[in-house]
Amino acid sequence: MLLIRATGTTPLNADDTADTARLRMIADMQPPFARLMGAKIVEATRDRVVAEVFVREELANRNGGLHGGAVMAIADNLGGTATFLNLPEGANTTTLESKTNFFAGCPLGETITAETTPLHRGRSTMVWQTRIVRADGKLAAIVTQTQLIIGKDARPRTAD
């Protein structure tokens, strides 16, 4: 089930319904590269974006697990999506930098979960942290990335 709502805490009303539709549209407009990674967004609110990825053979490294490059690619896409969900219409974002620590391999044939939450949502930049978790619950990697906000009057909908 795809869970998309305006925020995690606000009760729904007419405005929220329009907002929720917009959030869903943003989350659905995944770029071609996200589709190549096979990332399927299962939750998208302003405070949390979650994707699931089946570790198919095309994503493999030399050791028969999920390639570290794929881990970073999946997380980068979520951080960009999460930023979009917090921007007013007309504003845009680009990744300034991204840092990943790897803790454990992810076996082929399993489904991993990637969860992105905010560390900072400011006027110029947002910083997101993504946890990559294996099917057995083990933390496989953590990605921290900075998004630059581009566009006139680009003020976030949510500030930390």
When the beta carbons of 45 and 130 are compared against its own copies, the nearer one is 130
Binding site for its own copies (CB under 8 A): 29, 31-37, 57-63, 67-70, 72-77, 80, 84, 92, 94-103, 105, 119-120, 122, 124-125, 127, 139, 142, 144, 146, 148, 160
How far is residue 82's CA from residue 59's CA, in Å, rounded to a whole number?
23
Residue among 2, 150, 36 at smallest CA distance from 84: 150
Distances (CA, A) of 73 to 51, 84, 120: 12, 17, 21
When the beta carbons of 15 and 97 are compared against its own copies, the nearer one is 97
We find the least distance from the C-beta atom of residue 129 to its own copies, in angstroms, to be: 8
Q: How many residues does the chain have?
A: 160
We find the least distance from the C-beta atom of residue 18 to its own copies, in angstroms, to be: 22
How far is residue 85's CA from residue 156's CA, in Å, rounded to a whole number?
9
When the beta carbons of 12 and 135 are compared against its own copies, the nearer one is 135
CA 94 from chain center: how many Å? Answer: 13
When the beta carbons of 43 and 76 are compared against its own copies, the nearer one is 76
How far is residue 148's CA from residue 1's CA, in Å, rounded to a whole number?
31
When the beta carbons of 16 and 60 are compared against its own copies, the nearer one is 60
We find the least distance from the C-beta atom of residue 7 to its own copies, in angstroms, to be: 19
We find the least distance from the C-beta atom of residue 67 to its own copies, in angstroms, to be: 4
Q: Which amino acid is at 43?
A: E
Other CB atoms within a 10 A radius of the CB of residue 88 amount to 13
We find the least distance from the C-beta atom of residue 13 to its own copies, in angstroms, to be: 30
